[in-house]
Amino acid sequence: MDSLAQFLRKHYGSITSAAEAFDVTEQTVYKWIRENPKGLLKHMPTMVTQCNVTETQILGEVMYHEELLHREIYG
């Protein structure tokens, strides 16, 4: 269930680097991972510019991670 964290580490090297790139705290990034993956979408333009990814790839990753969280909560 670590897909979003893996995605961020792949493109930024670490959660700390991702937080710095988005000008947020690590706590915020971990909240996206544990509770609210859609929070990352606000920073989609930054990711598109800084990483070699499309908006569709980011949205797909967020939606997939949200589904994983839903399954964990609701079985």
Domain ranges of the chain: 3-74
Q: What pLDDT is attached to residue 1?
A: 57
pLDDT at 29: 98
Give the 3-state DSSP-derived string for 13-70, with helices as H, strands as E and coil as C.
Answer: CCHHHHHHHHCCCHHHHHHHHHCCHHHHHHHHHHHHHHCCCCHHHHHHHHHHHHHHHH
The tokens describing 7, both together, are 């995605």
The per-residue pLDDT for 25 is: 98
14-62 pLDDT, tens digit each: 999 999 999 999 999 999 999 999 999 999 999 999 999 999 999 999 9
Task: Give the separation between CA 60 and CA 14, rounded to whole angstroms.
Answer: 20
Return the pLDDT at 73.
Answer: 83
Q: How far apart are CA 20 and CA 14, in angstroms?
A: 10
